[in-house]
Amino acid sequence: MNRIGFLLKVKENMIDDYKEKHKEVWPELLKALSETGWHNYSIFMRDNGELFGYFETPDSLKTAIAKMGDKEINTKWQKMMAPYFEIPAGNHADEMMLELEEVFHLD
């Protein structure tokens, strides 16, 4: 199982709404994440909107994103969430994840 850590940035004026959206993540999206190998998924946020995300997958980040990209529900979620992120216009946040290198792990 691969442990994936990534960074993203939410626009500061949209932080509260971003948090609200994640209180009620669509059940279909949660199902798609599970079906495509996204496990133990967590998102952490600093006060300025910087996000650290973590999940475990049998795949690479690129493959995990590609598998979700095949899910229509993910396309809808990404389109809805795109305005929240500091990313180039027309991109989805999952395409802009900056993967972090794991340098230490303790079980």
Pairing of strands 2-9, 50-57: antiparallel
How buried is residue 4: exposed, middle or buried, by Cβ count under 10 Å (0-12/13-18/19+)?
buried
Q: Is 39 a catalytic residue?
A: no
Which entry of 22, 39, 92, 105 is annotated as an active-site residue?
22
- Residue 83 is encoded by which pair of tokens? 């305005």
Helix (H) or strand (E) holding 28: helix 27-35
Provide the annotated active-site residues.
Answer: 22
